[in-house]
Amino acid sequence: MKFTDGFWALRPGVTAHYAQEAYDVEVDGDEIVVVAPTRPIRSRGNVLNLPVLTVTLSSPAEGVVKVSVAHHTGGRPRRGFELDAPGAGKVETTDEGAVLTTGDLRAVVRRGTPWDISFWHGDRRLTGSGHKSLGYLQLAADAAVAAEPAGLTGVTTTGLAGPGTYVHAQLDLGVGETVYGLGERFGPLVKNGQSVDIWNSDGGTSSDQAYKNVPFYLTNRGYGVFVDHPEHVSFEVGSEAVERVQFSVPGEVLEFFVIDGPGPKDVIDRYTRLTGRPPIVPAWSYGLWLSTSFTTDYDESTVTSFIDGMRERDIPLSVFHFDCFWMREFQWTDLVWDERVFPDPVGMLDRLHRELDLRVSVWVNPYIAQRSRLFAEGAEKGYLVRRPDGSIWQWDMWVAGMALVDFTNPEAVRWYQDSLRVVLEQGVDAIKTDFAERIPTDVVWHDGTDPHVMHNLYTHLYNKAVWDVLREVKGDGEAVLFARSATAGGQQFPVHWGGDNTSTFESMAETLRGGLSLAASGFGYWSHDIGGFEGTPDPAVFKRWLQFGLLSSHSRLHGSQSYRVPWAFDEEAVEVTRRFARLKNSLMPYLFTVGADAAATGVSVARPMLFDFPEDPAVTYLDRQYMLGPDILVAPVLSADGTVELYLPAGTWTHLLTGEKVTGGRWVREQHGFDSLPIYVREGAVLPRGTREDRPDYDYLDGLVLEVFSDGGEVDTSVDVVTVEGRRVTFTVTGAGEDVRAVGPDGVTAQVRVR
């Protein structure tokens, strides 16, 4: 959302009032309150007829500074995100102004002109707010702008701000500083030069729209910024003022947090302390998921044939997913099995559990079709969202006569959960929570929330309602979603997948960028549709995507109009599926421990290279490779001929599959058949490996092997293994050469293999 016309001028119709000086700087308890007039005060007459901004600085948690910028404060109470903010920090006045100190982070306010707030980590300046950076802007009802259609995104199709009032802030970007995050975005991983609208949309993976919009970014300078506004937030990342990141919101108040590092993992740790941690998800969920796909023909015999086919081919399968048509057409969502194709759902689910040892997932969404059994009941009881005139909001996009559950109504939440509870008690283990992006703004919510605020926030309430009933029925540690939409805090309800991609190498690459961007936004787990959702992949794309998908935290075979069983492609696809599904299961002692660490710190299982090598400038722009936990580097093959270029940071790297050792600190070019890809383990790593390959949930300590990646020198380290029950076991690993041993707690042993 751009307000200016170049560096000097404003857009026609824009009136801008910028903070010009810190006129009064006061300490009020544990806050700094600054009166910031929008012109310098040189005489008493200057105080008349001008907007004044009140800027308040406080610390909600150690290493975090909250900045509130307010023009008029008499509006309706503002709803932000649900945050855990106990309070921290100390404030003091100085001859120059005031300082807020919280941990190693300092916010320094300079009294007088020009306007200046600087944020410091120790003696290193991170960023700051300088001249013309805090602004209150008024946009006239210019006819050309006012007539501009909003489109499905709810913001103008030009990206220009519409009429009204806005508050914006700008923070400096240093030379070489790069920006990451802002949700699951499918364009370049580095956001510099981009305009980003935080507004959930159902736009696929090949556009600038996103299913998961998060008003949080971090930079390679070692800090992050979180804008505490669920409504539309517009970011200009070095794109309007190229030396700054700008973020703006409609209205009279802007609140944001500056979050200290010093490294990316530290920023994520502090950010998820505020907005919520991703919990530990069950070990079985890491295994391979197979879906019916979307509009394909299927019934119980089809499902059985798929499962039998996987077993006959010795491909380990953990979860079977029933997509939309487990319910009858035109009746979504009624949460009732279609008796024409599933006449005995309870018996079928029992057989899948008892005889085939599978978990079961089903698809839902928050929309209630007019033919659904729930529509009349929801309408009568006031559980469906209404327009200002009292009529139920409906449209025909997606399902005929679609209405929307009002999750701001506690009774509506319980009503929806009651229907879900029936399905869960029938034997369903996991829920795919689809959609929740098409949320209208011309409605009235039960609790009175501003509809523009609820547009992004709705998905949080929806996923929370489903998550809570899953925990209730299945128990702590067993709940798992497969969610498409999210916003800040949504990481508390995992797992999230990447939406509607296409069946090409290009879409595979954008899917990876989306996942890495989501990881840089505080989400601990992410997944995607192996092979792509739209269209049918050719065998080469499918086999390469299998490798990538089975080296992600969660792995699902799912498509739109065609099945994703591997034998539908070629026999080699069967071999690739079997090889990498079994490899992933053998890595579960490592992967499940990394997942437990994600629950403790917020750092994603699969994450950008920057997270583990923040001091290496060569990783800054890498978006075709990633770290799977702290020790495994994966570079998916994104070409038909198997050629891949990747960067290995300094040190010795060992190929996990072949044992070949490669010296890092350089780019390498490799070519791989379908049985391999670049998957390297860093020097000094101790990789816990299991002895079972047929399933992801087993006793990891039974026959545990610790693979030590050493140059033959002295080894003195420790490694944790978290069991499926959540017990954390620490092994001390010492020795040299081939004589390396592992010592665990009493009665717990592990073999050592030096590689």
Residues acting as catalytic residues = 434, 437, 500
N-terminal to C-terminal alpha carbon distance within the chain:
53
CA atoms 516, 517, 520, 521: torsion sign: negative
Whether 189 contacts 517, CB under 8 Å? yes
Could you tell me whether strands 359-364 and 430-433 are parallel, antiparallel, or unpaired per DSSP bridges?
parallel
d(CA 132, CA 484): 38
d(CA 14, CA 432): 45
d(CA 608, CA 253): 34
Could you tell me whether strands 9-10 and 4-5 are parallel, antiparallel, or unpaired per DSSP bridges?
antiparallel
Whether 481 contacts 494, CB under 8 Å? yes
Nearest 5°: the CA angle 161, 56, 122 is 105
Q: What is the DSSP string of 299-315?
A: -HHHHHHHHHHHHHTT-
H helical segments located in 83-174: 143-146
Residues in a beta bridge with 57: 32, 67
Q: What's 598-617 look like in SS3?
A: HHHHCCCCEECHHHHCCCCH
Q: Which helix (H) or strand (E) holds 264?
A: helix 264-275
- Residue 545 DSSP SS3: helix
Identify the CA nearest to 632 among candidates 675, 596, 581, 684: 684
Whether 223 contacts 119, CB under 8 Å? yes
d(CA 249, CA 539): 46
Whether 719 contacts 629, CB under 8 Å? no
Identify the CA nearest to 337 among candidates 427, 452, 271: 427
Catalogue the E-assigned strands of 261-364: 288-291, 319-322, 359-364
Whether 133 contacts 169, CB under 8 Å? yes
Identify the CA nearest to 433 among candidates 485, 474, 469, 370: 485
Q: Which helix (H) or strand (E) holds 661?
A: strand 661-663
